Amino acid sequence: MYKVNEIFQTIQGEGSFTGIAAIFIRLQGCPVGCSWCDTKQTWHIDPQLSQSITQVVAKTAETAHWASQTAEQILDLFKNQEYQAKHVVITGGEPCMYDLIPLCQLLHDNGYSTQIETSGTFEIKAPAKTWVTVSPKVNMAGGYKVLQSALDRADEIKHPVAMEKHVDELIALLVDTNISDKLIYLQPISQQRRATELAIAMCTKHNWRLSVQVHKYLGIS
Protein backbone atom coordinates (compact mmCIF):
# COMPACT_ATOMS: atom_id res chain seq x y z
CA MET A 1 0.00 0.00 0.00
CA TYR A 2 1.22 3.47 -0.89
CA LYS A 3 0.36 6.43 1.32
CA VAL A 4 -0.59 9.13 -1.19
CA ASN A 5 -0.49 12.81 -0.20
CA GLU A 6 -1.35 14.15 -3.66
CA ILE A 7 -2.03 13.03 -7.22
CA PHE A 8 -2.27 15.67 -9.93
CA GLN A 9 -1.51 16.31 -13.58
CA THR A 10 0.76 19.20 -14.57
CA ILE A 11 4.03 19.99 -16.36
CA GLN A 12 7.35 18.66 -15.09
CA GLY A 13 9.37 21.75 -14.20
CA GLU A 14 12.76 20.30 -13.32
CA GLY A 15 15.65 18.35 -14.81
CA SER A 16 15.71 16.32 -18.01
CA PHE A 17 11.93 16.13 -18.44
CA THR A 18 11.26 19.86 -18.08
CA GLY A 19 8.19 20.79 -20.12
CA ILE A 20 6.78 17.26 -20.30
CA ALA A 21 3.16 16.70 -19.29
CA ALA A 22 3.24 14.50 -16.21
CA ILE A 23 1.14 12.92 -13.50
CA PHE A 24 2.66 13.48 -10.08
CA ILE A 25 2.21 11.02 -7.24
CA ARG A 26 3.36 12.58 -3.96
CA LEU A 27 3.86 9.99 -1.23
CA GLN A 28 3.61 10.70 2.48
CA GLY A 29 6.56 10.28 4.82
CA CYS A 30 10.12 11.64 4.95
CA PRO A 31 12.63 11.60 7.84
CA VAL A 32 15.46 13.43 6.01
CA GLY A 33 14.65 16.88 7.38
CA CYS A 34 15.79 19.38 4.73
CA SER A 35 15.59 22.88 6.19
CA TRP A 36 14.42 24.44 2.89
CA CYS A 37 11.89 21.71 2.08
CA ASP A 38 8.79 23.11 0.37
CA THR A 39 6.66 20.04 1.15
CA LYS A 40 7.08 19.72 4.91
CA GLN A 41 3.44 18.63 5.12
CA THR A 42 4.60 15.24 3.79
CA TRP A 43 7.11 14.51 6.53
CA HIS A 44 4.95 12.75 9.13
CA ILE A 45 2.50 9.91 8.71
CA ASP A 46 -0.29 10.65 11.15
CA PRO A 47 -2.90 7.85 11.18
CA GLN A 48 -5.53 10.39 12.24
CA LEU A 49 -5.02 12.25 8.95
CA SER A 50 -5.92 9.29 6.74
CA GLN A 51 -8.63 10.18 4.19
CA SER A 52 -10.32 8.68 1.17
CA ILE A 53 -8.51 9.08 -2.14
CA THR A 54 -11.46 11.18 -3.35
CA GLN A 55 -10.76 13.69 -0.59
CA VAL A 56 -7.03 13.69 -1.33
CA VAL A 57 -7.55 14.32 -5.05
CA ALA A 58 -9.97 17.14 -4.25
CA LYS A 59 -7.46 19.05 -2.09
CA THR A 60 -7.25 22.77 -2.76
CA ALA A 61 -4.34 23.38 -0.37
CA GLU A 62 -1.26 21.53 0.82
CA THR A 63 -2.07 19.38 3.84
CA ALA A 64 -0.67 16.37 5.69
CA HIS A 65 -3.72 14.25 4.83
CA TRP A 66 -3.08 11.06 2.89
CA ALA A 67 -4.88 8.03 1.45
CA SER A 68 -3.66 4.45 1.36
CA GLN A 69 -3.75 3.02 -2.16
CA THR A 70 -2.63 -0.09 -4.02
CA ALA A 71 -0.84 0.17 -7.35
CA GLU A 72 -4.02 -1.00 -9.08
CA GLN A 73 -6.13 1.64 -7.35
CA ILE A 74 -3.68 4.36 -8.44
CA LEU A 75 -3.90 3.19 -12.06
CA ASP A 76 -7.70 3.14 -11.86
CA LEU A 77 -7.63 6.69 -10.51
CA PHE A 78 -5.64 7.86 -13.55
CA LYS A 79 -8.36 6.45 -15.78
CA ASN A 80 -11.20 7.84 -13.69
CA GLN A 81 -9.62 11.30 -13.68
CA GLU A 82 -9.08 11.03 -17.45
CA TYR A 83 -5.46 12.08 -17.16
CA GLN A 84 -3.82 12.33 -20.58
CA ALA A 85 -0.14 12.48 -19.57
CA LYS A 86 1.88 9.29 -20.00
CA HIS A 87 4.85 10.24 -17.83
CA VAL A 88 4.48 9.58 -14.09
CA VAL A 89 6.67 11.26 -11.49
CA ILE A 90 6.79 9.64 -8.05
CA THR A 91 7.97 12.08 -5.42
CA GLY A 92 7.37 12.93 -1.81
CA GLY A 93 8.18 13.06 0.92
CA GLU A 94 10.77 10.39 0.30
CA PRO A 95 9.30 7.91 -2.20
CA CYS A 96 12.06 5.35 -1.73
CA MET A 97 10.77 4.58 1.73
CA TYR A 98 8.41 2.39 -0.34
CA ASP A 99 9.02 -0.56 -2.64
CA LEU A 100 8.17 1.10 -5.96
CA ILE A 101 8.66 -1.95 -8.16
CA PRO A 102 4.99 -3.08 -8.18
CA LEU A 103 3.67 0.40 -8.94
CA CYS A 104 6.23 1.26 -11.62
CA GLN A 105 5.95 -2.12 -13.32
CA LEU A 106 2.16 -1.88 -13.48
CA LEU A 107 2.43 1.60 -14.99
CA HIS A 108 4.99 0.41 -17.55
CA ASP A 109 2.70 -2.47 -18.51
CA ASN A 110 -0.06 0.07 -19.18
CA GLY A 111 1.93 2.40 -21.41
CA TYR A 112 3.34 4.88 -18.90
CA SER A 113 6.94 5.93 -18.32
CA THR A 114 8.03 6.46 -14.72
CA GLN A 115 10.42 8.74 -12.88
CA ILE A 116 11.41 8.80 -9.21
CA GLU A 117 12.64 11.92 -7.41
CA THR A 118 14.61 10.84 -4.32
CA SER A 119 17.07 12.23 -1.80
CA GLY A 120 19.30 9.19 -2.31
CA THR A 121 19.15 8.26 1.37
CA PHE A 122 17.11 5.06 0.93
CA GLU A 123 17.67 1.99 -1.22
CA ILE A 124 16.00 2.49 -4.60
CA LYS A 125 13.56 -0.32 -5.37
CA ALA A 126 12.40 0.29 -8.93
CA PRO A 127 12.53 -1.42 -12.34
CA ALA A 128 15.49 -0.78 -14.61
CA LYS A 129 13.26 1.21 -17.00
CA THR A 130 12.37 3.77 -14.32
CA TRP A 131 14.24 7.07 -14.66
CA VAL A 132 15.83 7.91 -11.32
CA THR A 133 16.52 11.49 -10.28
CA VAL A 134 18.70 11.69 -7.19
CA SER A 135 18.69 15.07 -5.48
CA PRO A 136 21.31 14.28 -2.84
CA LYS A 137 20.63 15.73 0.58
CA VAL A 138 23.85 16.09 2.56
CA ASN A 139 24.10 16.70 6.33
CA MET A 140 20.39 17.19 6.85
CA ALA A 141 18.71 17.23 10.27
CA GLY A 142 17.54 13.61 10.02
CA GLY A 143 21.12 12.34 9.92
CA TYR A 144 20.66 10.13 6.87
CA LYS A 145 23.62 9.55 4.56
CA VAL A 146 23.43 9.65 0.77
CA LEU A 147 23.91 6.07 -0.41
CA GLN A 148 26.53 5.26 -3.01
CA SER A 149 24.11 2.70 -4.44
CA ALA A 150 21.60 5.51 -5.07
CA LEU A 151 24.19 7.66 -6.86
CA ASP A 152 25.22 4.67 -8.97
CA ARG A 153 21.59 3.97 -9.92
CA ALA A 154 20.79 7.58 -10.79
CA ASP A 155 20.11 8.59 -14.37
CA GLU A 156 20.41 12.23 -13.35
CA ILE A 157 21.83 13.90 -10.25
CA LYS A 158 20.09 17.18 -9.48
CA HIS A 159 21.74 19.05 -6.63
CA PRO A 160 20.14 22.00 -4.81
CA VAL A 161 22.60 24.86 -4.23
CA ALA A 162 22.62 28.16 -2.39
CA MET A 163 26.29 28.48 -1.44
CA GLU A 164 29.66 27.27 -2.70
CA LYS A 165 29.79 24.65 0.04
CA HIS A 166 26.86 22.90 -1.64
CA VAL A 167 28.86 22.60 -4.85
CA ASP A 168 31.81 21.26 -2.83
CA GLU A 169 29.48 18.67 -1.28
CA LEU A 170 28.42 17.50 -4.72
CA ILE A 171 32.00 17.24 -5.96
CA ALA A 172 32.86 15.13 -2.91
CA LEU A 173 29.86 12.87 -3.52
CA LEU A 174 30.86 12.27 -7.12
CA VAL A 175 34.43 11.16 -6.34
CA ASP A 176 33.47 7.47 -6.31
CA THR A 177 30.67 7.75 -8.88
CA ASN A 178 30.98 7.04 -12.59
CA ILE A 179 29.20 10.03 -14.11
CA SER A 180 29.92 9.22 -17.75
CA ASP A 181 26.33 8.03 -18.29
CA LYS A 182 24.62 10.53 -15.96
CA LEU A 183 23.27 14.05 -16.32
CA ILE A 184 24.40 16.45 -13.61
CA TYR A 185 22.18 19.43 -12.75
CA LEU A 186 22.54 22.29 -10.29
CA GLN A 187 19.27 23.73 -9.04
CA PRO A 188 19.23 27.09 -7.23
CA ILE A 189 17.36 26.91 -3.94
CA SER A 190 14.20 29.05 -3.89
CA GLN A 191 15.16 31.02 -7.01
CA GLN A 192 17.57 33.20 -5.01
CA ARG A 193 19.53 35.48 -7.37
CA ARG A 194 22.84 34.72 -5.70
CA ALA A 195 22.18 30.99 -5.84
CA THR A 196 21.18 31.21 -9.52
CA GLU A 197 24.33 33.14 -10.41
CA LEU A 198 26.46 30.60 -8.54
CA ALA A 199 24.74 27.69 -10.27
CA ILE A 200 25.27 29.23 -13.71
CA ALA A 201 28.96 29.82 -12.99
CA MET A 202 29.52 26.28 -11.71
CA CYS A 203 27.57 24.68 -14.55
CA THR A 204 29.76 26.57 -17.00
CA LYS A 205 32.94 25.58 -15.13
CA HIS A 206 32.12 21.87 -14.83
CA ASN A 207 30.04 21.44 -18.01
CA TRP A 208 26.96 20.57 -15.95
CA ARG A 209 23.34 21.58 -16.57
CA LEU A 210 21.07 24.14 -14.93
CA SER A 211 17.63 23.26 -13.55
CA VAL A 212 15.57 26.33 -12.65
CA GLN A 213 12.23 24.92 -11.36
CA VAL A 214 10.21 26.30 -14.27
CA HIS A 215 6.90 25.48 -12.53
CA LYS A 216 7.68 27.97 -9.74
CA TYR A 217 8.44 30.74 -12.22
CA LEU A 218 5.13 29.93 -13.93
CA GLY A 219 3.25 29.79 -10.65
CA ILE A 220 1.87 26.29 -11.19
CA SER A 221 1.99 23.11 -9.10
Give the CA distances from residue 193 to residues 60, 159, 162, 188, 213, in Å, rounded to whole numbers and listed in that order: 30, 17, 9, 8, 13
Distance from C-alpha of 137 to C-alpha of 42, rounded to nearest angstrom: 16
CB neighbour list of residue 140: distance below 8 Å, 6 or more residues apart: 32, 33, 34, 35, 119
Q: Establish whether 13 is an annotated binding residue.
A: yes
Q: Establish whether 182 is an annotated binding residue.
A: no
Q: Establish whether 26 is an annotated binding residue.
A: yes
Q: Establish whether 35 is an annotated binding residue.
A: no
Q: Establish whether 96 is an annotated binding residue.
A: no
Q: Establish whether 136 is an annotated binding residue.
A: yes
Q: Establish whether 29 is an annotated binding residue.
A: no
Q: Establish whether 41 is an annotated binding residue.
A: no
Q: Establish whether 194 is an annotated binding residue.
A: no
Bridge-based pairing state of the strands 156-161 and 67-69 = unpaired
Q: Establish whether 39 is an annotated binding residue.
A: yes
Q: Establish whether 36 is an annotated binding residue.
A: yes
Q: Establish whether 25 is an annotated binding residue.
A: no
Nearest residue to 130 (alpha-carbon basis) of 4, 17, 11, 2: 17
Contact 212/188 with Cβ under 8 angstroms?
yes
Distance from C-alpha of 97 to C-alpha of 118, rounded to nearest angstrom: 10
Distance from C-alpha of 1 to C-alpha of 73, rounded to nearest angstrom: 10
* Binding residue positions: 11-13, 26, 30, 34, 36-39, 91, 93, 135-137
* Binding residue positions for substrate: 11-13, 26, 91
* Binding residue positions for Mg(2+): 39
* Binding residue positions for [4Fe-4S] cluster: 30, 34, 37
* Binding residue positions for S-adenosyl-L-methionine: 36-38, 93, 135-137
